[in-house]
Amino acid sequence: MLLEARLQAASEPARNTALARHLLDALKQYGVNSVGFYWPLAGEFDARAAISIWLAANTQREASLPVVKERGVPLEFHAWAPDTPMKIGHHRITVPASGRIVIPELLFVPCVGFDANGYRLGYGGGYYDRTLAAWPGATKPITVGIAYEACRTPALEREAHDIPLDLIVTEAALYPRPVD
């Protein structure tokens, strides 16, 4: 049901325009120079145009895309720019061909669904939870979920390893994680 709602929302240009604007607002709010995002699958918001605008505004900025090296291990993030040569990786997802690893300060995470407490529903592979749990260095990235308002639900079932996101961005608003 959430996948259908997301697919429907993603097909509406006005929602995507508003979501892109809110994504750029989130980047401005956090003031980071290094961002990880994702190559869009069916129904997922395509952030490439917004990220390209963000990159063009400052040559010190860097973007990266997740790469699955093998099933069950944390994701790596490889440098991406609009002109980066790409190839097909695991799960038939397009990834940068260069292999240059980047450690992003902010991570955009796709959401199938999300709740008021900042938890997300993904595809169930656990890649982002595993990646965040094993993040290199002492400082974890700011995590920002990207979702459509139609995919908001009152509460999601959670497992012990689930990590709430710092912010969820939709076409309607920016939702910070509630303070505990």
The reply to whether 148 sits in an annotated binding site is no
The reply to whether 123 sits in an annotated binding site is yes
The reply to whether 43 sits in an annotated binding site is no
The reply to whether 121 sits in an annotated binding site is yes
The reply to whether 124 sits in an annotated binding site is yes
The reply to whether 122 sits in an annotated binding site is yes
The reply to whether 171 sits in an annotated binding site is no
Beta bridge partners of 110: 146
The reply to whether 12 sits in an annotated binding site is no
The reply to whether 44 sits in an annotated binding site is yes
The reply to whether 120 sits in an annotated binding site is yes
Binding residues for ATP: 120-128
Binding residues for substrate: 44
Binding residues: 44, 120-128
